[in-house]
Amino acid sequence: MEQEVVYSRMPDAASAASELVSKLRKSAESYQAVFFMAAIRYDFAKLSEEIKKHFPNSEVMGASTAGEISMEGFMNDTVVLTTMSSSSVKVRGVLVEHGSKYPVACKAEIEKALQQCGIKTNDPNSHTSAFALAFINGVFNAEESILTNFYSIIKNDNFKLAGGTAGYTGNEPKTFVSYNGKTTQDGAAFMFVKTSSPFDIRQEDIFNRSGKTFFVSQADTVNRKIIKFDGEAAQKVYAKKLGVSEEEAANMTFEHPFGRFLNGQVCIAALAGFTPSKEINLFARVVPNSTLELMNIGDPLEKCDETCRMIRSAIPHPKFVLMMTCITRTLAFARMNISREIISKYKANFPTFAGFSCYGEQLGRIHCNQTLVTLVMGD
């Protein structure tokens, strides 16, 4: 297993694609899979087409970002491209279009891609030698429905999936994902990997439980909105649990997200803000008659060390590393002045790595926020 990571700041799609390819050590035919993460300033459809032209025999998958990650650090306004080359992997991708309206419409295409990759559906052991990578469009709140559709097809809850929601910067809400040169603004790109190499997929969150809970008495699941806790306005109760005014609570949402109880685990749901009617907008779905817990931020550097130790314990000799981290974490690390320390820790543990700042992270069938999802493969 070998990974290369290159990046470009060239302003136009054709020049950026050419520079990326020129920096690679091997010929284009050497790579089974190519992944790229690009700033929203690029013409993403054009960039996708240009990169695919350079890799006609590779499976190529891309996403727009809210920031890019490489050995150079947390970056902006770049294209980061990473490759996968190994005789031990077989890869196949698929593009799911119109994912917010018709998530089941691509069932046949997903089944075909899995079959071409050598992954059997309804196989209780499929997770031992295969996994999925997903880049999902933001804006349409379709992550949960797309994941549910995939797991209804694979029929194995132990099958690992690592995912990131495509991001964007600026005021215009638009995100892009692509597969083999074709782009969509509403859907997902999947890459299925069958391999004899060891792999590790895990999630890191930097929050601790507070013991303070909320009962969701009224919520809008489609629009990811909490209306009331225990019959009271959601914002009012949130501020009360923090022991601050409602105005002060608006500036404390990153440090204090919600924890949802899913499959015996606490999964993070980030607050997107408050409405004039004191409702709480979220970046992940919360259902009525459920219980949430207030979370408190911990020590990101300590948690980073722990995550790296766990990965190295599972994969002593990492060869391919892909990271999807929430944009709120990236911004918080910058405010805390620890971005370089985080990257230094990654450099000390991995020979190279690539990734992007996203608008949500997926681990298996669960969509979360304010976390880091890592995919690491070894020899």
The DSSP code sequence of 301-334 is HHHHHHHHHHHHHH-SSEEEEEEEEEHHHHHHHH
Distance CA 341, CA 18 (A): 32
- Write out the two tokens for 45: 């459809």
**Count of residues for the chain?**
379
Distance CA 20, CA 31 (A): 14
Q: What is the pLDDT of residue 93?
A: 98
Residue 329 phi, psi (nearest 5)? -65, -45
Which of 180, 194, 163 is CA-nearest to residue 95? 180
The radius of gyration computed from the CA coordinates of the chain, to the nearest angstrom, equals 20
Q: CB count, 10 Å around CB of 343?
A: 19
The pairing of beta strand 318-326 with beta strand 354-358: parallel
- 315, 200 Cβ separation under 8 angstroms: yes
Q: What is the pLDDT of residue 314?
A: 98
Q: What is the pLDDT of residue 116?
A: 96
Distance CA 131, CA 373 (A): 14
Distance CA 47, CA 65 (A): 14
Task: Give bridge partners of residue 92 from the DSSP assignment.
Answer: 192
Enumerate long-range contacts of 219-223, CB under 8 Å, 24 or more apart.
219/286, 219/287, 219/288, 221/285, 221/286, 221/287, 221/288, 222/141, 223/141, 223/281
Q: What is the pLDDT of residue 225?
A: 96
Q: What is the pLDDT of residue 264?
A: 80
Q: Exposure pattern of 264-299 as b/e (b: 16+ CB <10 Å)?
A: eebbbbbbeebeeebbbbbbbbbeeeeebbbbebee
Would you write out the chain's pLDDT as a tens digit for each of its 379 residues? 999 999 999 999 999 999 999 999 999 999 999 999 999 999 999 999 999 999 999 999 999 999 999 999 999 999 999 999 998 899 999 999 998 888 788 999 999 999 999 999 999 999 999 999 999 999 998 999 999 999 999 999 999 999 999 999 988 889 999 999 999 999 999 999 999 999 999 999 999 999 999 999 999 998 999 999 999 999 999 999 999 999 999 999 999 999 999 888 899 999 999 999 999 999 899 999 999 999 999 999 999 999 999 999 999 999 999 999 999 999 999 999 999 999 999 999 999 999 999 999 999 999 999 999 999 999 8
Q: What is the pLDDT of residue 105?
A: 82
Q: What is the pLDDT of residue 24?
A: 97
- Write out the two tokens for 313: 């314990």
pTM for this predicted structure: 0.94
Which of the 8 DSSP states describes residue 360?
-
Exposure of 43 by Cβ count < 10 A (0-12 exposed, 13-18 middle, 19+ buried)?
middle
